[in-house]
Copies of this chain bind each other. A is one copy, B any other.
């Protein structure tokens, strides 16, 4: 294999051999045929074709690689996830196997990426203490910024699965009821306070039966991997509607996700201990066992607005972990389905420049952001493009990439 082989991936590639995220792609010559791909360097490995090429399709669970979405692989469970990941690693590193799978590579620039799995239920959490504190200060000035329940349970709510879209999908500015506190009645029109929320999403693979809570220690048996999430939010719609039953139309118009699902197994070096629990957790949420693998992740996010970095939210600062979110979400007996997606909520760190939403970065619009091009923003203008990326430590000093979740705001057509 020569140094010019597409499989000779430089160490600083976000998609090196230690990452191997899964997605679903099509190519221009077969636009109807969705295929599972694995990102490697600047290429995508057609995973089903590769499995066929090396004669692996008969191995248990490997036929899921020929599906048009990740759901069958997600449903196959951790033993299959581990076996498939180990096999793909071999295909990409063993000299003889590399020759067999090289014809199954497609340049990444030549593929169209799709929503990689069919989303079952979507839950959005509120797991950043800094974000929750900032929003409490903005929305409920004069009260304690954190509600009394905040440190006892990971607050969450169900979002709309049907409007989850893949990165790159244009985001139409939503209309809705807008009412500032001083207005006597609401009016209806395009949101004037369109915002982002930079989040990490967790993709459920192995389902559970109704009545079977998932213990903290079992979280990794059910979670296949992670993606980046932009939970677009119309703050004016949200502020007017959300009491008493929570966010609805302020969120349900669109939620964007990155096309690559990074396996949990790729994040071994990124695991980190979450912040100190300064309120005693109930036993089902108590993760203070120093011997257990920590469930925090040291993932460094970047948020770009029209190309300018406006924030660098640190996932390591999140108070609640994905394992606690999953344990809480199922503590009442609620079942999981393959394809369930739960997201962290906005990732905000302690400093202003690490806040993951414009409402915090601009303090509810009172302190506009100055972009490097000289323009100012409070909330999003039509035409604005938001791109969220992230990296995490991999083995041997490498850094893993997550791809990106991008979206451009388009005005609502006047009909």
Q: Which residues of A are in contact with B by a Cβ distance under 8 Å? A: 120-121, 123, 126, 139, 147, 149, 152-153, 155-163, 165, 172, 174-177, 179, 185-188, 210-211, 213, 234, 237, 240-250, 252-254, 280, 282-284, 328-329, 331-337, 340, 412-413
Residue from A210, A213, A240, A283 with most neighbouring chain B CB atoms (10 Å): A210
* Tally of this chain's copies: 2
- Shortest beta-carbon contacts, A-B, top 8: A246-B246, A174-B332, A158-B158, A157-B245, A253-B332, A245-B246, A249-B332, A252-B334
Once the chains are docked, how many angstroms separate the CA of A155 from the CA of B126?
Answer: 21
Q: In this complex, what residue of B is CB-closest to A120?
A: B162
Query: What CA separation (Å) do A244 and B254 show in the bound complex?
Result: 21
Beta-carbon contact of B245 and A155 below 8 Å? yes
Q: In the docked arrangement, what's the CA distance between A335 and B412, Å? A: 14
A152 nearest in chain B by CB position: B186
Q: State the Cβ distance, A232 to closest chain B Cβ, in Å.
A: 10
Contacts of A149 in B (CB 8 A): 177, 179, 186, 240-241, 243
- Asked if residues A120 and B158 are in contact (CB atoms below 8 Å), the reply is no
Inter-subunit contact B249/A331 (CB<8 Å): yes
Q: Once bound together, how far apart are the Cα atoms of A332 and B412, in whole Å?
A: 10
- Across the interface, which residues of B come within 8 angstroms of A248, CB to CB? 123, 155-158
Closest Cβ of chain B to A384, distance in Å, is: 17
Q: How many Å from the CB of A154 to the closest CB on chain B?
A: 10
Question: How close is A185's CB to chain B, nearest CB, in angstroms?
Answer: 7
Decide yes or no: A335 and B249 within 8 Å by CB, A147-B243, A177-B152, A188-B283 being known contacts.
no
With contacts A177-B282, A187-B282 known, is A126 near B240, CB below 8 A? no
- Residue numbers in B under 8 Å from A165 (CB-CB): 210
Complex CA–CA separation, A324 to B332 (angstroms):
32
Can you list 28 A-B pairs, Cβ within 8 angstroms, ordered by A? A120-B161, A120-B162, A121-B161, A121-B162, A149-B177, A149-B243, A152-B179, A153-B177, A153-B241, A155-B248, A157-B157, A157-B158, A157-B245, A160-B334, A162-B337, A163-B334, A172-B210, A172-B333, A174-B333, A175-B213, A177-B282, A210-B253, A211-B413, A242-B246, A245-B246, A249-B329, A249-B332, A253-B333
Of all chain B residues, the one with the shortest Cβ separation from A410 is B211
Chain B residues in 8 Å Cβ range of A413: 211
Which of A155, A158, A161 counts the most B-chain CB atoms under 10 A from its CB? Answer: A158
Does A210 contact B334, Cβ atoms closer than 8 Å?
Answer: no
Bound-state CA distance A186–B331 (Å) is 14
Contacts of A340 in B (CB 8 A): 162
Residue from A149, A162, A210, A213 having most chain B Cβ neighbours under 10 A: A162
A155 / chain B contacts, CB cutoff of 8 Å: 241, 244-245, 248
A331 with B247, Cβ < 8 A, contacts A121-B161, A188-B282 known: no
Q: Which residue of B lies closest to A153 (CB)?
A: B177
Cβ contact within 8 Å between B246 and A247: yes
Return chain B residues, CB-CB under 8 Å to A332.
174-176, 234, 237, 249-250, 252-253
Determine the distance from Cα of A240 to Cα of B162 in the docked complex, in whole angstroms. Answer: 29
